[in-house]
Structure 1
Amino acid sequence: MHMADALVAPAVAGTMYACSAAAAGWAVKKVQEEDDPKKVPLMGMMGAFVFAGQMINFTIPGTGSSGHLCGGLLVSAVLGPFAGFLTMIGVLLIQCLLFADGGLLALGCNIWNMAFYGCFIGAGLLWRQFMKNGVDKRKITVASIVGCILTLQLGALSVTGETLASGITELPFGVFAAAMQPIHLAIGLVEGLITAAVLCFLYEARPELIWTGTSIGTAESKKKPRLSFRKVLLVLAGGFVVVGGALSLAASANPDGLEWSIERITGSAELASSGAVHAAAERIQSMTSILPDYSIPNQGAALGTSVSGIFGGIAVILLCASLCWLLRLFGRKGRHEQNQ
């Protein structure tokens, strides 16, 4: 669902940048108040896992379309909505700047459509309600499916609203929405099943990692963990390497839900952009994208995909760790106690 720059006008892009920045500022403040240093490695590993997961486009049978994980609900069901949102920003930044996946001008839209709803609506509201009286696999599965379907529907609707506000006449609102909503309903169902599988594993491995919105130790204390925290991190690290470096090679070649919808209406999966602002954004992105379209120039597609999957995951880990250090997100209580 990564929007390209051609789908948004500069005014709409600026508005969505402002909305996403306001949400990010709120998230930074709330994470500083949480002050849970264990979330630093979790942010990096969950972010890397979601980055790798987004590289696997799964086919939607009978449509000629495909979908991929968004991940907002997945990371927030572990980290909480605030740390989850900051982690998703890290993922989308790396995708945009290093791989030219999603437009630079449209980055504020993509953060809102793909991260805000999953983190704050899917997890902050819906997931919290499901888990407030205890956690079990049935609740995890139902909450994951319902949450992913709902948040992808909201994200798809936002895409159509942003193109309407941008005056993209090639994509009439009613026709565009009629194409976007059903296909993202199917994508949301598959994402819900994937999310449920990962979260059920984490619940079995380390129950307290499942966020419920009540306290740091959130899952039922009577359930004994099967793996240490360090081993869970190692499993997530191995997961992103295998998914990004190997399984991504089996990704569907079909256009994703957004591209498919655009192609059905206009006959092409991409629209042309024009204007000085769009040209400037394209120039900047061309300078920052080391592996555009997850490929290595003049090298085989398989090598480029595998390298991109592993390199991108490492980049997400480093970015999340750097943001935690620069913004002093964790360890504030410990520093305060040392100064007393």
Structure 2
Amino acid sequence: MHMADALVTPAVAGTMYFCSAAAAGYSIKKVRMESDSRKIPLMGVMGAFVFAAQMINFTIPGTGSSGHLCGGMLLSALLGPYAGFLTMIGVLLIQCLLFADGGLLALGCNIWNMAFYGCFLGALFIWKPMMKTGMSKKKIIAASILGCMLTLQCGAFSVTLETLASGVTELPFAAFFAVMQPIHLAIGLVEGLITAAVLLFVYEARPELLFCHKYAKQAEGRCSFRKTLAILAAAAAVIGGGLSYFASSNPDGLEWSIARLTGSTELTSSGGVYEAAGAIQQATALLPDYAFKSSESALGTACSGLIGGIVVIVLCTLVCCVFKFFRKKKSA
């Protein structure tokens, strides 16, 4: 559901940059109050996992469309809403700059649509209330599916509102809404099942890594923290470096919806701001569209998955150091 620059005007893009920046600033303030240093490697590894998982588009049967994991609900269920949101920003930033996935002008929109709802609404209004009466496998499955479906619906609706505010006449609001919401409901269901599978593994391995873990009925895990982290890191490497090659070639939910109304998966735009944003992405995108430049080699996809994951880990670690996240507080 990465929006391209052509879908938004500079005014709408600037507004969404401001909203996303405000949420990021608040998240930084909240995370700096935490003192669990184990979240630093967990942020990096789970950021890499989400990056890799987003490379795998799964087919939505009978539609000609595909979808991919957004990851906001998954990250917030592990890291909490604030650290999860910041991790998602890192993933989306790397995708935008290194791989030209999603427009630079539209980055604020993509952060809001794909990260804000999953991390804040999903964690604080779905995950936390459901776990307060006792965390269990059934509740993890229910919260994952419900959270992903509802927050993805919010994200899809935001896309239609942003194009409406931008005056994109090729995408009439009512018609765009009518195609966007149902397809993303199906995508949200699949994402919920994937999210539930990952969280159930963590629940069995190290339940204290989950957000609201104090309500868990299972007190002890079967794996050490390092082993759990190693398994998640290995999964990210396998997904990004191998399984991503088998991703569906069908357009994702947003592209499919646009094509249903316009006959093409992309819209065009012109103007100095769009050209400047495009020039920056062209200069920074080392592996545009997750491939070597001027090459369709499968090795480009594998390298993109591995390199992207490593860069996300490094970025998350650097951010934690710069903002002094998770440092132990001195006792009074």
TM superposition score normalised by structure 1: 0.96
The answer to whether the aligner puts 1:58 opposite 2:70 as a matched pair is: no
Q: Which residue of 2 aligns with 1:22?
A: 22
Measured against aligned partners, the alpha-carbon deviations of 1:294-325 in whole angstroms (never above 9, x if no partner) come to 00124443111100001000010000001111
Of 145-154 and 125-134, more deviation after overlay is shown by 125-134
Whether the 8 Å CA contact 1:208–1:221 is kept in 2: the answer is: no
Q: Which residue of 2 aligns with 1:49?
A: 49
Tell me how far 1:60 sits from its aligned partner: 0.2
Q: Which residue of 2 aligns with 1:232?
A: 228
Residue identity in the other structure for 2:118: G
Tell me how far 1:223 sits from its aligned partner: 3.0
Q: Secondary structure at the match of 2:3?
A: coil
Distance between the aligned counterparts of 2:291 and 2:209, measured in 1? 35
Q: Which residue of 1 aligns with 2:34?
A: 34
Q: Which residue of 2 aligns with 1:123?
A: 123
Q: 1:318 aligns with which of 281, 301, 314?
A: 314
Residue identity in the other structure for 1:309: G
Distance between the aligned counterparts of 2:283 and 2:60, measured in 1? 34
Measured against aligned partners, the alpha-carbon deviations of 1:71-123 in whole angstroms (never above 9, x if no partner) come to 00001000000000000000000000000000000000000000000000011
Distance between the aligned counterparts of 2:306 and 2:29, measured in 1? 31
Residue identity in the other structure for 2:269: S
Q: Which residue of 1 aligns with 2:249?
A: 253
Distance between the aligned counterparts of 1:332 and 1:266, measured in 2? 54
Q: Which residue of 2 aligns with 1:218?
A: 214
Q: Secondary structure at the match of 1:86?
A: helix
Q: Which residue of 2 aligns with 1:276?
A: 272
Tell me how far 1:210 sits from its aligned partner: 1.4
Whether the 8 Å CA contact 1:211–1:219 is kept in 2: the answer is: no
Whether the 8 Å CA contact 1:249–1:302 is kept in 2: the answer is: yes
Q: Which residue of 1 aligns with 2:67?
A: 67
Tell me how far 1:124 sits from its aligned partner: 1.7
Q: Which structure 2 residue ranges, 5 or more long, are not aligned?
A: none
Q: Secondary structure at the match of 1:218?
A: helix
Whether the 8 Å CA contact 1:209–1:218 is kept in 2: the answer is: no
Tell me how far 1:332 sits from its aligned partner: 5.1
Distance between the aligned counterparts of 2:296 and 2:215, measured in 1? 46
Residue identity in the other structure for 2:87: T
Q: Which residue of 2 aligns with 1:201?
A: 201
Q: Secondary structure at the match of 2:133?
A: coil
Among all aligned residue pairs of Structure 1 and Structure 2, give the percentage whose two residues are the same amino acid: 68
Distance between the aligned counterparts of 1:322 and 1:183, measured in 2? 37
TM superposition score normalised by structure 2: 0.98
Distance between the aligned counterparts of 1:240 and 1:162, measured in 2? 32
The answer to whether the aligner puts 1:148 opposite 2:148 as a matched pair is: yes
Q: Secondary structure at the match of 2:306?
A: helix
Distance between the aligned counterparts of 1:301 and 1:174, measured in 2? 41
Tell me how far 1:327 sits from its aligned partner: 1.1
The answer to whether the aligner puts 1:108 opposite 2:116 as a matched pair is: no
- Quick one: structure 1 residues 242 and 222, their matched pair in 2 at CA, closer, same or farther if it must change by over 3 Å? closer
Whether the 8 Å CA contact 1:210–1:219 is kept in 2: the answer is: no
Distance between the aligned counterparts of 2:47 and 2:217, measured in 1? 26
Q: Which residue of 1 aligns with 2:10?
A: 10
Q: Secondary structure at the match of 1:59?
A: strand
Residue identity in the other structure for 2:287: L
Q: Which residue of 1 aligns with 2:157?
A: 157
Q: Which structure 1 residue ranges, 5 or more long, are not aligned?
A: none
RMSD: 1.1
Measured against aligned partners, the alpha-carbon deviations of 1:226-271 in whole angstroms (never above 9, x if no partner) come to 0000001101110110000111111000000000000010000000
Whether the 8 Å CA contact 2:4–2:103 is kept in 1: the answer is: yes
